[in-house]
Amino acid sequence: MKYRSILLLKLPFCTHPDAMSADDNFRTRAPFRPIPSLALAALTAFFDKYKHPDYELTPIDINIEAYTKPGTPIDTSIYMDILTETVKSHDYDILALSTLFVFNVRWVETAVQLSRQYHPNAKIILGGGYPTLFPDHALQRHDIDAAVIGEGETTLLHLVNRYNNLHDPGFEQKFPPGGYAARGQNGDIVHNPTTHFIDMADLPIPAWDKLNVDKYFENSGDRLLPIEGSRGCPYGCTYCCTYLSWGKKVRYKPVDNLLDEMAQTRKKHNIHTLHFNDDNLGFRKEWLIEFLNRAMNQNFDFKFSASNYSVKHMDEEIIDLLVKVYGPGQFVGLAVETGCPSMQKKINKNLDFDKIREVVKIMKEKKLHVHLHWMVGFPNETVEQIQRTFAFARELRAHSNQFLTVTPYPGTKLFKEAEASGLLNIPETDFDKYDNRRSEYLKSDEWDYKLLQEMIYDANIEINFLNHPQLDIPDQIDEFKTYLTDLLKRLPDHIISHILVGYIHKKKGNPEEREKYYRSAFQRFEDNGLCKTFFKYLHWEYGSIRDFNAFLEENRLKIEACD
């Protein structure tokens, strides 16, 4: 058999060194804290379950290989060496590359070049978010053999079988082939469309034991793994491309399988949290209620959290169950996206604002950690409409909010509309810009991306920090302090967090600690870049800022405005 040994690599999903721009600054710098790749664990488990016995697949998640010392943030500059060494030192017949995001394109470029240098005869298969959206471009730009579109478990094995001229009729009947693009005999790109989505009951338990998760656990300090209960979303929000990966029909794992997966993952890996990645766990209420009730009866001793629930499917019964199962303080994400009613309609999200208010209120009362997702910079959005989004976030006062600029993904209605109205700013294949912090994809008479980023950062400082709801709740203020001190370990220059920790100490009557944090905030203003980012907030009317300014005066310390 010619193609027996497969190296499956998750490429880094931080910014590639060649894509760093000179204007990167504190606001665009996010600490890189990857969690192990569910794609790799899922692909490996499926491959091992259905493969020919001679095949051997080795998965390596490059992202978690950079956790090198306990308690030390990842130094992303070492990824190049890790990737080079990994490709060089492994012997393989097929390199299978996994990319989460479009802006990972340069890592694909690097990996393909390395592979062609050290293993010129190996086949290369590319899967994940980037080829799903841009299969043709991926095949033109990189010297690869196949670009996999969307759900990849069955396609990976079909391709490996194909390269070996191996026919497995049972497998092909159960999982009809498709879902990739490749070059045909005459060199043209040929698409083999997806004809089949996997029945979730056929997915084995993700093979975390094949990944280096212990290294991640030990060095990151987190014992968290991702999990999924469902795939697919029936809605048609104009900005979303998730249907390209999972289809529009929602598929659930049987509750028995999911509970078994949770119990086994706990037993093998001693996790403290399982984080659900689903687009929305709650499309089918009966499934969710059954799952939560049965999870409660299992008395799991770990927590579980979720990236996203749809407000449309949330009600008090579900929230009560979430509290019972998750316990207070657990992270629950809700995607609201816009605070402007006409924009809700335009993007076909159609959330009811009173329902949002109600759901957030009940969740907060029941002490879940409410995290809201927001988008700003839709095509033709006015600054006034954007302000309504910030105003609504201000009103809801969730525990955390993520404000992101809109990125128009090909395949979405939003992309088509923007293209038709001549609003696309730069070539859609400038992939570095698919990173929202570098996004510049849309034209507007009202705003540019510099302004959007500034508005977003101001809203973040105000809503997530200076006006944080837990500052006013005595029995929750310590939870916020812990969050801030954790953040400072990863982003030690976050001046506002220094000020807030100092302020919380003042509220709790610890003058020495107040002084310590205020002094470290003061010292950081000497750095011109930091001063430029944070100086303006010293003029904002908040108790913490007033107290910090009072401290400066008491101690005759002066912060000069920077240029």
Residues near ligand B12 (CB under 6 A) are: 13, 34-35, 37-39, 42-43, 96-98, 100-102, 125, 127-129, 132-133, 148, 151-153, 155-156, 226, 228, 240-242, 245, 277, 279, 307, 404, 407, 435-436
Would you say 19 or 500 has its CB closer to ligand B12?
Answer: 19
CB of 499 to ligand B12, least distance (A): 26
Residue 280: both structure tokens together: 């929305």
CB of 245 to ligand B12, least distance (A): 5
Would you say 26 or 540 has its CB closer to ligand B12?
Answer: 26
Q: How far, in Å, CA of 234 to CA of 251, rounded? A: 10
User: φ and ψ at 211, to 5 degrees?
Assistant: -105, 165
Q: How far, in Å, CA of 447 to CA of 438, rounded? A: 15
Would you say 261 or 499 has its CB closer to ligand B12?
Answer: 261
Would you say 62 or 241 has its CB closer to ligand B12?
Answer: 241
**3 state DSSP class of 335:** strand
Strands in 94-99's sheet, in edge-to-edge order, are 56-61, 5-10, 94-99, 123-128, 146-148, 180-183, 189-192
CB-facing half-sphere around the CA of 506: CA atoms within 13 A = 20
CB of 259 to ligand B12, least distance (A): 19
Would you say 61 or 462 has its CB closer to ligand B12?
Answer: 61
Residue environment code for 64-75, b if the CB has 16+ CB neighbours within 10 A, otherwise e: bbbbeeeeebbe
Would you say 440 or 513 has its CB closer to ligand B12?
Answer: 440
Do residues 92 and 1 make contact, with C-beta atoms less than 8 angstroms apart? Answer: no
DSSP state of 229: S
Do residues 74 and 12 make contact, with C-beta atoms less than 8 angstroms apart? Answer: no
Would you say 306 or 396 has its CB closer to ligand B12?
Answer: 306
Q: How far, in Å, CA of 436 to CA of 454, rounded? A: 13
Nearest to 370 by CA among 336, 398, 390, 404: 398
